[in-house]
Amino acid sequence: MVFSLNKKALTNAIVVSLITIALVFYGSRKLQNFDPALIAYLFGTVFAFFGVVYRYSVWLQRPPTRMYFRRSLELIYNRKFFSHLVFFIKDFILNIGFQKFIYPRGRSRWIGHFLMAFGCTLAFAITFPLTFGWIHFTMNPATSIDPESIRLYEAHFFGFKIFEFELGSFIAFTVFHALNWSSWMVIIGVLIFMRRRLTQPGLIATQSFEGDLLPLVLLLAISITGLGLTYSYEFMKGFAYDFMAVTHAITVIMFLIWIPFGKFFHIIQRPAQLGAHIYKREGIKRGMAVCPHTGKEFATQMHIDDLKVVTKELGFDFTLEDGTSHLDLSPEGKRSRLAMAHLKARLENGGKLFG
């Protein structure tokens, strides 16, 4: 395949990367609060943003995706927007937050996926703002003068003080260990999924190392070295700390750079599922398509009409001689018509069963 740069996508990606850099600059109060130790992570993150926006933009230009995107925009500028918004929020919590649709596929599968998803989201929510210098912690000024008396810590966001907490308190423990909790969640989730992938014959037959196993290995490496950082200084007097720090950085940066290309891109694509739900919801309101063969409703008319356009854009023309389309038929109708055509061919050939 010849690789050619997609100009529109490139522009989007550059704009988003520049905005991110600007936000890092101003969000960290002109780099005052930026932690230079995190510079490699910052580069990795900006590259990931660039790649994600580039791929997403290319993706949106494909005919089927463009059609859904166009329909979604139409709904946003529509007066029915609020009715869909309420549905969207509910759907988001259930399907993106809790990945409800995975539960029927298997309970342990859902538990594993939920732990990985929750752990990763939590880690993103903490590390991105930290890397960007948007969040930082300082000692309360009074505490700095007399550390024994007050022992207060302050959390700042975009340079503004958000809240303060006492050192050694439950909040402090939770805040400072949040990344460890997320690591544990990811580790348990990864192990559940690895077990599936290494024991289920159907998965073994169809999975690939780089597409399915490597992402799990990478998540595991990130989580273990991440935990190792804490446990090394808390329990092992700093044993192997440098090794952990370097391995952690390398695996995290690999993960970030890989988001736009591999398995992890599904995190970015998944919310499109909500779009598909709303598309169907709106379609049902506008009316259903009835199959000319079975006489039953089978899809929304908007879906069938849009598909006729999309298939044409993709170079398929299912228009029949009478001006209708093969796509007007339901799946069952299509299967029956194929069998009827087979019968017709047999009748034209003398009508006898042939062998």
Partner 1 sequence: MPVTNYKTNQEFFVDMQRCIGCKACEMACAECETNGHESMIHVNYIDRAVTIQTTVQVCMHCDDPACANVCPADAISKDEFGVVHTANTARCIGCSNCVMACPFGVPKKNEAYDLMMKCNMCYDRTSAGKKPMCATVCPTQALYYGTREEMAMMRPNSSPVNNFIFGNEKVSTKVNIMMPKGATELRVD
Report the residue number, 52 or 227, with the smaller CB distance to partner 1: 52
Nearer to partner 1, 95 or 230 (CB): 95
Which amino acid appears at position 5 of this protein? L
Residue 33 or 99: the one with the smaller Cβ distance to partner 1 is: 99
When the beta carbons of 97 and 331 are compared against partner 1, the nearer one is 331
Among 172, 272, 288, 290, contact with partner 1 (rule: CB under 8 A): 272
Whichever of 178 and 310 has its CB closer to partner 1, that residue is 310
- The total number of residues shown for the chain amounts to 355
DSSP letters of 185-229?
HHHHHHHHHHHHHHH-HHHHHH--IIIIIHHHHHHHHHHHHHHHH
- Distance separating alpha carbons of residues 312 and 308, to the nearest angstrom: 6
Judged by CB under 8 A, the chain residues 295 through 354 that form the site for partner 1 are: 299, 303-304, 307, 310-311, 314, 316-321, 325-327, 329-343, 345-346, 349-350, 353-354
Q: Which is nearer to partner 1, 152 or 302 (CB)?
A: 302
Residues numbered 102-161 forming contacts with partner 1, rule: CB under 8 A: 104-105
Instruction: Give 109-112's long-range contacts (Cβ < 8 A, gap of 24+).
Output: 109/192, 109/193, 109/196, 111/189, 111/192, 112/188, 112/189, 112/190, 112/191, 112/192, 112/193, 112/196
Among 170, 199, 201, 237, binds partner 1 (CB under 8 A): 201
Give the number of residues in contact with partner 1, rule: CB under 8 A.
67
Residue 64 interacts with partner 1 (CB under 8 A)? yes
Q: Which stretch binds partner 1 (CB under 8 A): 77-85, 146-154, 237-245, 274-282?
A: 274-282
263 scored as a contact of partner 1 (CB under 8 A): yes
How far apart are alpha carbons 240 and 238 in whole angstroms? Answer: 6
Q: How many angstroms separate the CA atoms of 271 and 48, rounded?
A: 18
Closest CA to 215 of 272, 269, 261: 261
208 counts as binding partner 1 under rule CB under 8 A: yes
Find the binder of partner 1 among 15, 22, 125, 204 (CB under 8 A). 204
> What is d(CA 258, CA 352) in angstroms, rounded to the nearest whole number?
60
- What's the min distance (Å) between Cβ of 46 and partner 1? 25
Spatial contact of 252 and 264, defined as CB atoms under 8 Å apart: no
Q: How wide is the angle at C-alpha 241 spanned by C-alphas 251 and 210, nearest 5°?
A: 15
Concatenating the DSSP letter of every residue in 36-82 gives: GGGHHHHHHHHHHHHHHHHHHHHHHTSHHHHHHHHHHHHHHTSTTHH
Question: Is 225 or 311 the residue whose CB approaches partner 1 more closely?
Answer: 311
Smallest separation, CB 309 to partner 1 (Å):
11
Binding site for partner 1 (CB under 8 A): 59, 62, 64-65, 67-68, 95, 101, 104-105, 200-202, 204-209, 263, 266, 269-270, 272-273, 275-276, 279-280, 299, 303-304, 307, 310-311, 314, 316-321, 325-327, 329-343, 345-346, 349-350, 353-355
